[in-house]
Amino acid sequence: MKTQAAVVRATAQPFEVTTLELDAPAATEVQVKMIATGVCHTDAIVRDQIYPTFLPAVFGHEGAGIVEAVGSDIVSIKPGDRVVLGFNSCGRCAKCLAGAPAYCENFMSHNFACTRLDGSTAFSDNGEKVGSHFFGQSTFSQYTNVSARSVVKIDGDVPLELLGPLGCGLSTGAGAILNSLDVKTGDTVAVFGTGAVGSAAIMAAAATGATTIIAVDIHDSRLEQALELGATHTVNSRTDNPVEKIREITGDGVNYALDTTGVTAVTRQAAESLAINGTVGLVGAPAPGSEVTFEVGASLVRGWKFRTIIEGDAIPQDFIPRLVHLWRQGKFPLEKLVRTYSLENINDAFADSKSGEVIKPIIVF
Ligand SMILES: [Zn+2]
Ligand SMILES: [Zn+2]
């Protein structure tokens, strides 16, 4: 079938909206008619090939839509089902079988290859292969063939055009707080960077009853928004030293510090703002080869931990519906982060995300 899609043809080139051919879904795939898809920083990273993938390719990995058709092996999903799409995983490795698909041993081949495992692609352009299955999805297309493990069924009463970002960025931030760090009522939390992932972390921390939630950013407008989302304090790290400010607010530092920036100097600041037995989590993605240094002499006695976090330790089929419930209760007001764009204006969506004007752009089909 024909589909309108946004294609990246070469490294760091803008998205080109064009008509592609989409093949029939393979036996283990689900064909989805897209309603909307979030735009995530990771799409910009692969457009620029900081993480290399097959090119040309269709990216996009925060899709929401309606099932159009299913492959011959699919029994639990049927045409007409309303779905949000999460990350992909192999389902067979030790990590997947242990309930930790975010650490799938085959994560890269299932999310970043932009081909099926046999090397084929779902999209083509006049006979030329065009990469598909980015995060099992490739959602910058009206129609796309999706890995069944990416598919999460959603109840009928919630607006799909809003929920695509639950598939990656927002579940990463919320999952870091609720799953990875396991923040509890009364805890103190600092969130470094208040983009989409950091904003989701702040909403989740507020929902779980953390009583001191400190947002750190360099943009005052974002810090004001963080207060609306549940932050109790803000620090502008351009004008103030965040480590000193956090100690001023908390006395001995925070139980949990989450770095969503991927800036290695910020990761160190996050570690230095911990209380005794605190944990720093890293969800931002520094370029491969990046290194962080930590003070470990004087801080040895403080028993602190550092951990990296992928996809908020979420199991999409379990965690995304939980976030939908929180949203329904008004405890995860993601609509405050969103601006919508048409597929034709996808490059504007990326520009507005980069400039910081919009926290979470959503392409609506
Ligand atoms: Zn696996
Ligand atoms: Zn993402």
Count Cβ atoms below 10 Å from residue 213 Cβ, excluding itself. Answer: 28
Q: Is residue 322 part of a domain?
A: no
In angstroms, the CA 38 to CA 51 distance is 19
Residue 337 lies in a domain: yes
- Calculate how far, in angstroms, residue 58's C-alpha sits from the geometric centre of ligand 2: 14
Are 160 and 177 part of one and the same domain? Answer: no
Indicate if 31 and 142 belong to the same structural domain: yes
Query: β-pairing, 143-147 with 151-153?
Result: unpaired
Task: Tell me: do 355 and 222 sit in the same domain.
Answer: no
Does residue 324 fall inside a structural domain? no
Identify whether residues 114 and 204 lie together within a single domain. Answer: no
Predicted pLDDT at 286: 87
| Mean of pLDDT values over 60-85 | 97
Q: What is the pLDDT of residue 156?
A: 81
Residue 323 counted as domain residue: no
pLDDT-based confidence at residue 240 (cuts at 50, 70, 90): very high
* Shared domain check, 280 and 159: no
Number of domains in the chain: 2
Ligand showing the shortest atom-to-Cα distance for residue 315: 1
10 and 152 both lie in a single domain: yes
pTM of the model: 0.94
Is 316 a member of any domain? no
How many A from CA of 248 to the centre of ligand 2? 34
For residue 270, give the CATH number of its domain: 3.40.50.720
Q: Are residues 290 and 341 in the same domain?
A: no
**Measured between alpha carbons, how far is 258 from 284 in angstroms, rounded to an integer?**
9
Strand, helix or coil at 173?
Answer: helix
Ligand number nearest CA of 110 is: 1
**Alpha-carbon span 139 to 328, nearest angstrom:** 25
Ligand nearest to the CA of 38: 2
- Distance (angstroms) between ligand 1 centre and the Cα of 98 equals 9
- pLDDT, residue 261, reads 95
Q: Considering 295, 310, 325, which residue would you say is the last residue of a domain? A: 310
Q: By C-alpha distance, which of 2, 107, 9 is closest to 54? A: 9
- Considering the domain architecture, whether residues 162 and 256 belong to the same structural domain is answered as no
Nearest ligand atom owner, CA of 97: 1
Same domain, 240 and 359: no
The predicted model gives 309-338 an average pLDDT of 96
Q: How far, in Å, is the centroid of ligand 1 from the Cα of 91?
A: 5
- Asked if residue 327 belongs to a domain, the reply is no
Distance 99 CA to ligand 1 centre (A): 9
The residue length of the chain stands at 365
pLDDT, tens only, 263-321:
999 999 999 999 999 999 999 888 889 999 999 999 999 999 999 999 999 999 999 99
Say how many C-beta atoms besides its own lie within 10 A of residue 151's C-beta: 26
Kindly compute the dihedral angle of the four CA atoms of residues 189, 168, 151, 54, in this order, to the nearest 10 degrees.
-150
319 Cα: distance to centroid of ligand 1 (angstroms): 18
Distance 42 CA to ligand 2 centre (A): 5
Say which ligand is closest to the CA of 360.
2
Domain interval for residue 229: 172-310
In this prediction, residues 105-110 reach a mean pLDDT of 96
- Beta strands at 82-85 and 63-70: parallel, antiparallel or unpaired: antiparallel
Taking residues 47-70, report their average pLDDT.
96
Q: Which ligand is nearest to the CA of 195?
A: 2
Residue 321: inside a domain: no
Q: How far is the CA of 165 from the centre of ligand 2 (A)?
A: 8
User: Does 176 lie in the same domain as 155?
Assistant: no
Give the confidence band of 193 by pLDDT, cuts at 50, 70, 90. Answer: very high
Same domain, 73 and 180: no
Give me ligand 1 centre to Cα 100, in Å.
8
Q: Could you tell me the distance, in angstroms and rounded to a whole number, from the CA of residue 39 to the centre of ligand 2?
A: 8
Same-domain pairing of 187 and 270: yes
Output the domain CATH number for residue 17: 3.90.180.10
pLDDT of residue 61: 97
Check whether 2 has a pLDDT greater than 90: yes
